[in-house]
Amino acid sequence: MVLEFSEEASPALSAASTILVRRAHDGLETLLLKRSDELKHMPGLWVFPGGKVEVFDEGEDDLEQARSGAARELQEEAGLSLPAETLQPFSHWLTPVVVKRRFATWFFIAEVGSDEPVTVDGSEIVAHDWWRPGDAILAHHEGQLSITPPTLVSLHDLQGKDNPSVLLAQLGERAPLRFFPRVVREGDQMTFLYEGDAAYESGDLSQQGAQHRVLGTRGIFRYVGAN
């Protein structure tokens, strides 16, 4: 993954993604889509269905408008039509200020049947696959699955869960997690610091204490501090 950095902070555009989960014979699976290598933004990455929230997406506030946008993007990118009200807030991410293209992204989660058909357009999205979260994390660490830090952290949150219905009930009892990362660059390594990390305020990676971060080198990321 190549991030474009900028010395000037740009405003964050509203975006939304949907984490789809289903029950398989060996546990929970989640849907990932592969973006075309020809795209200018995030080419070739595996992502959850999603995109920019448009002005015509309905909603009384930013969250509800993002929910509508997530449902629309899900239909456009994966051919799946789910009522917007069935999408449950999962997390909220803000792209760091040092990155050129910034988004304030709501992640939602929803369950679908095990035989629900997925259809991609073959242009912007060129492939899809259902992954067990732990298998996807391992494939990424081995360099076989290109994903972003938000996708990696979300997969960690899903890892070890077997029943989608129980998972959604548990998530309904917690507030959506917030990830407003601070980026520290040292040579070819990037560290994404999240709230709760001892170095979050200072950016001093030598500071002792709790760690809640993603370490990235040459497009491979590792999450430290996962539950």
Are 87 and 194 part of one and the same domain? no
The CATH number of residue 136's host domain is 3.90.79.10
Q: Is residue 63 part of a domain?
A: yes
SS3 13: strand
Please give the Cα distance from 55 to 37 (Å, whole number).
Answer: 28
Q: Is residue 5 part of a domain?
A: no
Are 158 and 190 part of one and the same domain? no
Are 125 and 74 part of one and the same domain? yes
Q: Is residue 129 part of a domain?
A: yes
Are 100 and 191 part of one and the same domain? no
SS percent in the chain: helix, strand, coil, step 5: 20, 35, 45
Mean local confidence (pLDDT), 200-224: 95
What pLDDT sits at residue 69? 98
DSSP structure class, residue 225: S
Are 55 and 141 part of one and the same domain? yes
Please give the Cα distance from 101 to 113 (Å, whole number).
Answer: 35
pLDDT band at residue 181 using 50, 70 and 90 as cut-offs: very high
pLDDT tens profile 14-55: 999 999 999 988 889 999 999 998 888 788 999 999 999 999
What pLDDT sits at residue 47? 97
Are 89 and 196 part of one and the same domain? no
Strand arrangement of the beta sheet that strand 182-186 belongs to: 182-186, 189-193, 213-217, 220-224
Are 78 and 106 part of one and the same domain? yes
The C-alpha R_g of the chain, in whole angstroms, comes to 17
What pLDDT sits at residue 7? 56
Q: Is residue 4 part of a domain?
A: no
- Six-digit token string for 217: 């080198």
Q: Range of 216's domain?
A: 181-227
- CA-closest candidate to residue 79, choices 42, 26, 116: 116
Mean pLDDT taken over the chain: 92
- List CB contacts of 147: < 8 A, sequence separation 6 or more: 1, 32, 45, 46, 47, 136, 140, 155, 221
Are 42 and 68 part of one and the same domain? yes
Number of domains in the chain: 2
Report yes or no: 1 and 146 within 8 Å, Cβ to Cβ: yes
SS3 14: strand
- Six-digit token string for 98: 């040092």
pLDDT > 70? residue 67: yes
SS3 5: strand
Please give the Cα distance from 30 to 110 (Å, whole number).
Answer: 10
Are 90 and 188 part of one and the same domain? no
Q: Is residue 2 part of a domain?
A: no
Are 36 and 108 part of one and the same domain? yes
